[in-house]
Amino acid sequence: MNYLTVDFGSTFTKLTFIDSIREEVISTSAAFTTIDTNVMDGFGKALQNLENKIGQFKYDRLLCCSSAAGGLKMVALGLVPELTAKAAKMAASSAGAKVIKTYSFEISKREQDEIYQINPDLVLLCGGTDGGNKEVIIANAIRLSQIERNFSIIVAGNKSASYQIEEIFSKSGKDFVITDNVMPYFNNLVIEPAKSSIKDLFIRKIVEAKGLSTIQNMTDFKIIPTPLAVMYGCELLSKGTSKNPGIGDLMAIDIGGATTDVYSMSKGNPSVSNVMIKGIPEPYSKRSVEGDLGMRYSLSSVCEQVDIEMLSIKYGIDIKIIKDWIELCINNPDTISQNGSIQERVEAIIAREAISIAVQRHAGVMESIFTPMGEIYTLTGKDLTQVESVIGIGGAIKNSSDPTFILEGAKFDLSNITSTKPKNPCYMIDEKYIFASMGLLSTVDKDLAFKILKKEIKQIN
């Protein structure tokens, strides 16, 4: 049986042709994603590119994912930042959504207006443990019902408020679904029901909004968000199958045109003694998405967060060359640097900085405090210092002649010793950009997907 997987990315549409008998990827191809016209144009060009490489071919099953136009845009509302607001963001990010903003407590008129301006695809409404505070989530439901935008709402908060919330949204005509609480009781995180609801709404609503209905009609399988497909691939490589063990704890970094996504497959338990855990426990499979850290559509935001003059001095590159390349990429998102050129070096430097920021945000924070019993440590988030494998995904890494240099941005840095970034990882690379493809394949043939991942994800240092 032959499979064709399609990843409609924000910059490129990527195709992977898989032969299940030979248990290998036969070939891959890509074309610029045609968001402004019709995504099918980009698909057609990528298909033609694939045929030019291997000749005409037939596939038995078509599997698709998408993050075109930046993916699924979402805001999340919770009760307090350290608890349900954070739980809401975790649920949204793990399902493949791009969380633009999170809000806590009762939202104000200014915040209500801000959500109108964001114009999200989805709103995740949380707040209160089951049987606990329900006034805040009800007040926020009323405010959301007053916003004249066509977003869908997933309610994943205090079950005691469900009757009132259902009445509020039904009267306002809002599209909504009520699912299980992301935090049914204190410090207990349950994100799977909300994650599933987000995926279902993506399939039902966003596929049509992004112009993917034609491709959906060509396949018997539901289109899913690309980050969710990548998550499936990461989980598979980390845990393995019933027949084959995985490689253990890992981190994968997907640096794209619009976002930088970081995935960690690790329990993140403290690596030192005398540690007190702060905040809610984080899941083994965690994704964070940084919408301001992309190499094309968000490049201007990246450059606002790094010191261009410092980079010019540190790497001995004329600042005008750096600024000219940045301007060119912002104005022409399909620009690719030439191998061996000074522009390729600039691209690598910026990518390394973006990864450094993204991994720092994703990793936990370890701090020392002094008590009457002596010095102890507090850990907020996951301790990733012992993660052994860091895997690079994305065009900036795949197309670089020095991917190790870029991935070293993920490594523990003495200039920020509180961050629990990996200390001594080996670096691996997804040369054919197949993580999303194998995540898709794992939904129908997990063993085949794992075998191909083990074969294709290669160590580079």
Mean pLDDT of 35-41: 74
Nearest 5°: CA angle at 341, between 337 and 347? 50
Ramachandran angles phi, psi of 25, nearest 5°:
-80, 120
Reduced 3-state DSSP string for the chain: CEEEEEEECCCEEEEEEEECCCCEEEEEEEEECCCCCCHHHHHHHHHHHHHHHHCCCCCCEEEEEECHHHCEEEEEEECCHHHHHHHHHHHHHHCCEEEEEEEECCCCHHHHHHHHHHCCCEEEECCCCCCCCCHHHHHHHHHHHCCCCCCEEEECCCHHHHHHHHHHHHHHCCEEEECCCCCCCCCCCCCHHHHHHHHHHHHHHHHHHCCCHHHHCCCCCCCEEHHHHHHHHHHHHHHECCCCECCCCEEEEEECCCCEEEEEECCCCCCCCCEEEECCCCCCEEEEEECCCCCCCCHHHHHHHCCHHHHHHHHCCCHHHHHHHHHHHHHCCCCCCCCCCHHHHHHHHHHHHHHHHHHHHHCCEEEEEEECCEEEEEEECCCCCCCCEEEEECHHHHCCCCHHHHHHHHCCCHHHCCECCCCCCEEEEECCCCHHHHHHHHCCCHHHHHHHHHHHEEECC
Token pair of 147, please?
A: 């916003």
The pLDDT of residue 310: 93
The pLDDT of residue 289: 82
User: With bands split at pLDDT 50, 70 and 90, how would you rate the model's confidence at 115?
Assistant: very high
Rounded Cα gap, residues 377 and 394, in angstroms: 36
Mean pLDDT of 269-274: 90
Lowest mean pLDDT among 91-105, 117-131, 383-397, 423-437: 91-105
The pLDDT of residue 210: 66
The pLDDT of residue 256: 83
User: With bands split at pLDDT 50, 70 and 90, how would you rate the model's confidence at 70?
Assistant: low
The pLDDT of residue 80: 84
**For the chain, which domains are there?**
2-69+206-235 (3.30.420.40), 72-205 (3.40.50.360), 240-430 (3.30.420)
What are 336-371's pLDDT values in tens digits?
A: 898 899 999 999 999 999 999 999 999 999 998 887
The pLDDT of residue 334: 81
User: With bands split at pLDDT 50, 70 and 90, how would you rate the model's confidence at 69?
Assistant: low
The pLDDT of residue 167: 97
Lowest mean pLDDT among 146-150, 275-279, 348-352: 275-279
Q: Check residues 257 and 239 and name the one with the higher pLDDT.
A: 239
Q: In what order do the strands lie in the sheet with 122-125?
A: 97-104, 72-78, 122-125, 152-155, 175-178
Radius of gyration of the chain (CA): 22
Token pair of 320, please?
A: 């005008």
Mean pLDDT of 106-134: 94
Give Cα separations from 241 to 301, 416, 449, 450 (angstroms).
40, 37, 10, 7
The pLDDT of residue 36: 64
Burial of 21 (C-beta count, 10 Å sphere; 0-12/13-18/19+): exposed
Q: Check residues 364 and 38 and name the one with the higher pLDDT.
A: 364
Mean pLDDT of 448-460: 94
The pLDDT of residue 68: 63
Rounded Cα gap, residues 197 and 203, in angstroms: 10
Across the chain, what does the average pLDDT equal?
A: 90
Share of the chain above pLDDT 90, in %: 62
Share of the chain above pLDDT 70, in %: 97
Does residue 57 surpass a pLDDT of 70? yes
Does residue 325 surpass a pLDDT of 70? yes
Global model pTM greater than 0.85:
no
Rounded Cα gap, residues 259 and 227, in angstroms: 11
Mean pLDDT of 180-199: 87
Mean pLDDT of 433-457: 95
The pLDDT of residue 213: 80
User: With bands split at pLDDT 50, 70 and 90, how would you rate the model's confidence at 407?
Assistant: very high
Lowest mean pLDDT among 29-43, 139-153, 251-265: 29-43
